[in-house]
């Protein structure tokens, strides 16, 4: 996939996108919103696919817990067959346990036990889909005291052992680094660059809680200047990668979203050599 | 050190139940572990309550934001989501409204919730080309054994209350007279998606009888008979033709003779 900038597509933008046909490199949707074949959202995505590469980004596989996978995976596989996406991804997190699916991206303890489980789970997903997936680092607001591996090393080990890609969310690196006192540049340096196949950018907010400041991954505004800087550092280290602008809450007009993608594309172009497009 | 599964069980208890024992495994640097868990508890609650509010806007408007918040909390306690997609989350709302003592004086609320859930089902159902008249070219000897399937995701909703009227006057853009007489308007509604529009259609007693029997898998002969029984003077054949023309049906099945009851009336 060429190193182009794309936009996250949410339902209110289905029609404007097909009418305006802005020049964005690809669109990305949350897979689970299109699990009902033949429903109006599913038909809108089908129409979109005729004009844009589509990336399917999941929020519910719960790659970090040993919970039933078959039904979710069956629906995802149907959607993948139908849409023929350019990329398929989900998160390095867990969402379900005790028979409950929280529909939230919860952080893992970074232990050998969790690493084995995630690797096996990704293997099962890739076998069922017949293709490689990408796994995204989440933003987090807590760390577990029994973690023994740093997140970037854990993510790299997952990608190497499961033979999958990394979707590096630069905003999430920034948010988690702020919340846990990590060194964001050291995080980038610890990743296996050749495994990073896609980047995410989004807006965040700072909230004061009991006198402490937490960075919250809100996806409700433009990319912050500090995250653009970290994105430039990422491109300098890894080279250009397909980059997605995520903006899910307080959804702006489509043109605002495309302008953010344009800002990412300008930075990508500065790093684009003749042979540096990443084949996935 | 807890196993992964023990930790996750504890986290679910902290997020849904307020049992913070999982905080023992959380680093507290700069912010107490319990406060960190609360960030996730709030995020999950907001997301799931928003999902319920998206499906039940009229219910929320009728009871008010604070009461809806309480209903949503109780919903999460009794029926947390089991799946990683939210289209199927919220199906127990009508039963919950019928069961909560605080809502006992508002006996129409469960039917309002049923209507809103039926709209959710219709929206997410697959598109199927409606049955055209040509499908009715069935030999006369088999006509009584014909059965018709409604479009997938359709719901027939009988109610003792004027639920469609309640729904109509509680739309954000409604500006007319908003009085509702709860003693008038007992009716069966058909909730159906026609192309990309979810429709709430008020049925006459004859239409309700016709479509209800068909939805239950009875033969067209029996359904037409029920329509005439419901309304003496009804032109059951015209009702049927109208629903064929508007695209209410998805499929026609000719049932094997042994399964079909004795014909009670000829087709129009």
Q: What's the average model confidence in pLDDT over A140-163?
A: 98
| Confidence grade of residue A102 (pLDDT, cut at 50, 70, 90) | very high
- For residues A208 and B261, give the distance between their C-alpha atoms in angstroms, rounded to a whole number: 71
pLDDT in tens, B152-179: 999 999 999 999 999 999 999 999 999 9
Q: What is the CATH number of the domain that holds A206?
A: 3.20.20.150
> Residue B92's closest CA among B80, B108, B107?
B80
* Residue B75 pLDDT greater than 90, yes or no: yes
CB proximity A33 to B under 8 Å: yes
pLDDT of residue B141: 73
pLDDT of residue A274: 40
Distance between start and end Cα atoms, chain A: 6
pLDDT of residue B233: 81
Whether residue A135 contacts residue A92, with contact meaning beta carbons closer than 8 Å, is answered with yes
C-beta atoms of A101 and B81 within 8 A:
yes
CB pairs under 8 A between A and B: 135
C-beta atoms of A65 and B27 within 8 A:
no
The shortest C-alpha distance from B184 to chain A (Å) reads 35
State yes or no: ipTM above 0.90: yes
Six token digits for residue A80 = 């993948």
- For residues B27 and B17, give the distance between their C-alpha atoms in angstroms, rounded to a whole number: 21
> Residue A158's closest CA among A112, A199, A200, A201?
A112
* Residue A277 pLDDT greater than 90, yes or no: no
pLDDT of residue A280: 43
* Residue B265 pLDDT greater than 50, yes or no: no
Number of domains forming the structure of chain A: 1
Q: How far is CA A207 from the centre of its chain?
A: 23
The shortest C-alpha distance from A11 to chain B (Å) reads 13
Whether residue A92 contacts residue A155, with contact meaning beta carbons closer than 8 Å, is answered with yes
For residue A160, give its domain range. 5-279
| Confidence grade of residue B261 (pLDDT, cut at 50, 70, 90) | low
């Amino acid at each position: 996939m060429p190193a182009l900038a794309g936009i996250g597509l949410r339902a209110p933008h289905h029609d404007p996108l097909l009418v305006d046909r802005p020049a964005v490199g690809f669109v990305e949707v949350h897979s689970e919103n299109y699990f009902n074949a033949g429903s109006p959202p599913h038909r809108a995505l089908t129409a979109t696919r005729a004009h844009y590469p589509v990336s399917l980004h999941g929020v519910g596989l719960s790659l970090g817990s040993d919970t039933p996978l078959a039904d979710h995976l069956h629906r995802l596989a149907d959607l993948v067959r139908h849409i023929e996406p350019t990329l398929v991804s989900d998160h390095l997190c867990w969402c379900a346990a005790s028979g409950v699916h929280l529909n939230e991206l919860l952080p893992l303890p970074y232990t050998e036990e969790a690493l084995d489980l995630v690797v096996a789970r990704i293997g099962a997903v890739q076998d069922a889909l017949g293709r490689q997936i990408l796994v995204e680092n989440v933003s987090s607001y807590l760390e577990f005291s029994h973690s023994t591996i740093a997140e970037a090393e854990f993510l790299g080990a997952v990608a190497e052992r499961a033979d999958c890609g990394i979707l590096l969310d630069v905003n999430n690196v920034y948010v988690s680094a702020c919340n846990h006192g990590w060194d964001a540049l050291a995080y980038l340096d610890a990743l296996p660059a050749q495994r990073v196949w896609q980047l995410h950018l989004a807006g965040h907010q700072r909230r004061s809680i009991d006198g402490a400041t937490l960075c919250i991954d809100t996806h409700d505004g433009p990319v912050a200047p500090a995250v653009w800087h970290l994105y430039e550092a990422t491109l300098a280290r890894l080279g250009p990668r397909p980059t997605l602008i995520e903006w899910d809450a307080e959804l702006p007009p489509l043109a605002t979203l495309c302008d953010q993608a344009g800002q990412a594309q300008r930075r990508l172009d500065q790093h684009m050599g003749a042979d540096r497009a990443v084949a996935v | 050190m807890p196993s992964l599964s023990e930790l996750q069980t504890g986290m679910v208890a902290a997020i849904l139940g307020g049992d913070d024992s999982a905080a023992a495994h959380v680093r507290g640097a700069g912010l107490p572990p319990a406060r960190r868990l609360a960030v996730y508890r709030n995020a999950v609650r907001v997301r799931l309550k928003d999902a319920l509010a998206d499906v039940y806007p009229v219910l929320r408007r009728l009871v008010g934001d604070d009461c809806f918040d309480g209903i949503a909390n109780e919903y999460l306690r009794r029926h947390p989501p089991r799946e990683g997609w939210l289209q199927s989350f919220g199906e127990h709302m009508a039963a919950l409204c019928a069961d909560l003592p605080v809502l006992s004086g508002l006996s129409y609320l469960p039917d309002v919730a049923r209507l809103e859930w039926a709209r959710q089902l219709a929206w997410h159902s697959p598109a199927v080309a409606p049955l055209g008249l040509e499908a009715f070219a069935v030999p006369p000897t088999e006509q009584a054994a014909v059965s018709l399937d409604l479009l997938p995701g359709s719901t027939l909703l009988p109610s003792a209350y004027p639920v469609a009227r309640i729904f109509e006057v509680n739309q954000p853009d409604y500006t007319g007279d908003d009085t509702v007489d709860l003693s008038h308007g007992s009716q069966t509604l058909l909730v159906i998606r026609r192309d990309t529009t979810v429709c709430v259609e008020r049925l006459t007693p004859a239409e309700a009888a016709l479509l209800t029997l068909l939805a239950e898998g009875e033969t067209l002969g029996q359904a037409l008979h029920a329509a005439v029984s419901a309304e003496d003077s009804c032109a059951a054949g015209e009702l049927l033709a109208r629903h064929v023309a508007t695209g209410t049906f998805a499929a026609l099945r000719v049932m094997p003779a042994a399964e079909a009851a004795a014909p009670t009336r000829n087709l129009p």
